[in-house]
């Protein structure tokens, strides 16, 4: 008897993936055939997947398990020979990237809406990563979108739901399924890169840290690596249990949403080090005692100190950063005479550069840092990189950052987000800026001379792919920048992001607060965009 069936279906017209996968409200994904159509569109866009290996898992958010059952049956019907599934259906994004590479899979589905809130009224998402372990590039996501608009049926298997609570192998019709504990694979990879002995000594000498897993996917990974393997005190990991609704929180590691951790690190008896990760484990926030490290500075500092880390000593071929990320890393690259690349927002643009051996370290201002050990940003990896540096340098986080600024100058940086803005108003804001931009070059703004304005576009240096519309830039003659961009990961209204950067070489001014140093640029950005008038808001939703 054949268990494979074809189910007729009509297209949904809203399945274009954004910055990182298809993200929608859970209720949208719960519509009949919605998830199935998208998954079939992916298989079709790949030109079929018969005989291939697949990786499957998610961040444990609401609908994770239901979606895994659906995808497994579809994978079997589409001819996948073997699927690796995370135990309990859970895989962090970097762990999934690693498994795809390790098992030479054709790719993997990562079920996550990353830092977006979860639960029945929250968000769900599906990302597809390619055989290199990295997010599907634009030409594939566009092909998926096209297929999703033409779909008339999908393939699935009539089969009982599977259990993945235990690590075991079983058959789903003709496909073999292996349920694995991805934590051990991932921790092996980490121990091959970092000096675990040095980090162990750091903890045994009394170094204290708090890691906030925000009830998201990194809890089990962080507990195993930090507490069990490296000997950090029990209780170092807080909010370590993954929950389907992230405990009602917003699993975005920044100063606003990781407030539990921020309160601890800014208290009287703060530990030496604090860190947090997001829903799917690819982001990181780094805090010292009463000190916040901007993600852009973090990338530059990792690059500058890479020689103290065994896996990176003498091995940094190049650095890539997304366009809105501060240019702090460029200064390190210049000093070290290594290549530096500027890409559009989203990890998918780093893949080709890493595959071609052009870059080793990559980073985004949005709390994303990573390297070519996988093809995703990696939250816990960044935390271990910092711990390795701290173990060798034996200085505080603040001192390391201040010395870095003293040596390279400080790229003062901040991002202002206005979330859930009405779509029409957000488009009007961008249009306003676009129109005004044409006449800005040569004029004074915020006490600086505007050198250029453009809408950032990118030609991939490896395969020549062109991509445009990645953010309006105002570049000043001293290298300062104001950038405006609409988010491609939200599910409700629009999020307007304003990125502000200026260079401050004067050490005496490094003690000042970023918002203070950027004040004239903030005022100019508000005037130019007319955000206060158009949205009726007088402050951003989130400042990082």
Residue from 59, 195, 212, 278 touching Co ion (CB under 5 A): that is 278
> Any contact of residue 487 with ligand VG1 (CB under 6 A)?
yes
Cβ-based neighbour number of residue 13 at 10 Å: 9
Q: What is the separation of C-alpha 368 from the centre of its chain, rounded to a whole number of angstroms?
A: 5
373 binds ligand VG1 (CB under 6 A): no
Q: Which of 11, 247, 479, 488 binds ligand VG1 (CB under 6 A)?
A: 488
Among 53, 366, 535, 544, indicate the residue that binds ligand VG1 (CB under 6 A): 366
Selecting among 114, 277, 296, 467, the annotated active-site residue is 114
| Count of residues engaged in binding ligand VG1, rule: CB under 6 A | 18
| Out of 114, 223, 371, 535, the residue judged to bind ligand VG1 by CB under 6 A | 114
364 binds Co ion (CB under 5 A): no
> Is residue 368 a contact point for ligand VG1 (CB under 6 A)?
yes
Q: By three-state DSSP, how is residue 9 classified?
A: coil
- Determine if 257 is a binding residue for ligand VG1 (CB under 6 A): no
Stretch that binds ligand VG1, among 98-106, 398-406, 484-492, 533-541 (CB under 6 A): 484-492
- The span from the CA of 346 to the CA of 138, in Å, is 10
Nearer Cβ to Co ion, position 135 or 540? 135
Residue nearest to ligand VG1 (CB): 114
Cβ at position 523, least distance to ligand VG1 in Å: 23
| Nearest C-alpha neighbor of 404 from the set 502, 254, 299 | 299
Cα separation, 156 vs 176, in Å, equals 15
* Inter-residue contact 329 to 343 (CB < 8 Å): no
489 part of the interface to ligand VG1, by CB under 6 A: yes
Q: What character string, x for contact with Co ion (CB under 5 A) and - otherwise, covers 106-135?
A: --------x---------------------
Q: Which residues lie below 8 Å from residue 467, measured CB to CB, with a gap of 6+?
A: 138, 344, 349, 457, 458, 459, 460
Residue 107 and residue 54 in contact, taking contact as beta carbons nearer than 8 Å: yes
Regarding 59 and contact with Co ion (CB under 5 A), the answer is no
Stretch that binds ligand VG1, among 25-33, 54-62, 453-461, 486-494 (CB under 6 A): 486-494
Is the Cβ of residue 157 or residue 491 nearer to ligand VG1 in the bound state? 491
Respond yes or no: is residue 114 known to be catalytic: yes
SS3 421: strand
Judged by CB under 6 A, the chain residues 153 through 212 that form the site for ligand VG1 are none
Which residues partner with 127 through β-bridges?
A: 110
Compute the distance between CA of residue 272 and CA of residue 252 in angstroms, rounded to an integer.
22
Place of tokens 């140093």: 517
Q: Would you say 74 and 151 are in contact if contact means Cβ atoms under 8 Å apart?
A: no
Q: Which of 280, 297, 365, 378 binds Co ion (CB under 5 A)?
A: 280
Query: To which residue do tokens 């018969």 refer?
Result: 50
SS (H, E, C) 169-182: EEEECCEEEEEECH
Q: Are strands 153-157 and 285-288 parallel, antiparallel or unpaired?
A: unpaired
Per DSSP, what are the bridge partners of residue 92? none
Which helix (H) or strand (E) is 90 found in, with range? strand 82-90
417: contact with ligand VG1 by CB under 6 A: no
The verdict on 404 binding ligand VG1 (CB under 6 A) reads: no
Per the CB < 8 A criterion, the answer to whether 346 and 449 are in contact is no
Catalogue the E-assigned strands of 158-284.
169-172, 175-180, 209-212, 237-238, 273-276
Least separation, in Å, of the C-beta of 452 and Co ion? 32
Q: Which of 24, 73, 115, 321 forms a contact with ligand VG1 (CB under 6 A)?
A: 115
Closest CB to ligand VG1 among 36 and 378?
378
Enumerate the active-site residues. 114
- Residues in touch with Co ion (CB under 5 A): 114, 278, 280, 282-283
- Residues in touch with ligand VG1 (CB under 6 A): 19-20, 114-115, 278, 282-283, 322, 345-347, 364, 366, 368, 487-489, 497
């Amino acid at each position: 008897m054949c268990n494979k069936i074809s189910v007729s279906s009509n297209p949904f017209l809203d399945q274009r993936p954004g910055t990182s996968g298809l993200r929608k409200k859970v209720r949208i994904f719960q519509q009949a055939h919605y998830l199935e159509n998208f998954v079939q569109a992916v298989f079709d866009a790949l030109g079929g997947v018969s005989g291939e290996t697949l990786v499957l898992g998610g961040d444990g958010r609401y609908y994770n398990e239901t979606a895994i059952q659906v995808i497994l049956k579809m994978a079997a019907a589409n001819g996948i020979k073997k699927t690796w599934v995370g135990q309990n259906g859970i895989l962090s994004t970097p762990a999934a990237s690693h498994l795809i590479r390790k098992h030479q899979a054709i790719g993997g589905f990562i079920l996550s809406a990353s830092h977006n809130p979860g639960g029945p009224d929250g968000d769900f998402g599906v990302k597809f990563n390619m055989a290199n372990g990295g997010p599907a590039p634009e030409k594939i996501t566009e092909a998926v979108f096209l297929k999703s608009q033409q779909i008339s049926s999908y393939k699935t298997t009539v089969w009982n739901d599977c259990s993945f609570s235990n690590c075991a192998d079983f058959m789903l019709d003709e496909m073999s399924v292996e349920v694995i504990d991805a934590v051990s694979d991932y921790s092996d990879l980490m121990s091959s890169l970092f000096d675990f002995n040095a980090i162990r000594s750091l903890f045994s000498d009394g170094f204290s840290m708090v890691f906030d897993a925000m009830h998201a996917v990194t809890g089990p990974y962080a507990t195993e690596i930090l507490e069990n393997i490296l000997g950090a005190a029990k209780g170092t990991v807080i909010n370590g249990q993954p929950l389907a609704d992230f405990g009602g929180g917003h699993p975005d590691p920044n100063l606003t949403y990781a407030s539990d951790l921020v309160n601890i690190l800014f208290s009287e008896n703060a530990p030496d080090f604090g860190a947090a990760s997001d829903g799917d484990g690819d982001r990181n926030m780094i805090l010292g005692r009463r000190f916040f490290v901007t993600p852009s500075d973090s990338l530059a500092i990792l690059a500058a100190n890479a020689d103290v880390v065994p896996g990176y000593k003498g091995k940094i071929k190049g650095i890539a950063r997304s366009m809105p990320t501060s240019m702090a890393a460029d200064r390190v690259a210049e000093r070290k005479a290594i290549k530096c690349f500027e890409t559009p927002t989203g990890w998918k643009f780093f893949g080709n550069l890493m595959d071609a051996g052009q870059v080793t370290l990559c980073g985004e201002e949005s709390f994303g840092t990573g390297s070519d050990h996988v093809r995703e940003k990696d939250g816990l990896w960044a935390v271990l990189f910092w711990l390795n540096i701290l173990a060798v340098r034996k200085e505080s986080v603040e001192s390391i950052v201040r010395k870095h600024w003293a040596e390279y100058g400080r790229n003062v940086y901040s991002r202002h987000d206005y979330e859930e803005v009405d779509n029409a108003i957000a488009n009007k804001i961008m249009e306003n800026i676009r129109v005004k931009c044409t006449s800005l070059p040569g004029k004074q703004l915020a006490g600086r001379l505007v050198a250029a304005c453009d809408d950032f576009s990118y030609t991939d240096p490896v395969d020549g792919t062109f991509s445009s519309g990645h953010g309006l830039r105002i570049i000043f003659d001293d290298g300062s920048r104001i950038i405006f961009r609409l988010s491609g990961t939200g599910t409700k209204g629009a999020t307007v992001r304003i990125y502000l950067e200026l260079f401050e070489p004067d050490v005496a001014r490094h003690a000042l607060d970023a918002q203070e140093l950027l004040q004239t640029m903030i005022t100019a950005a508000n005037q130019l965009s007319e955000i206060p008038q158009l949205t009726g808001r007088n402050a951003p939703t989130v400042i990082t």
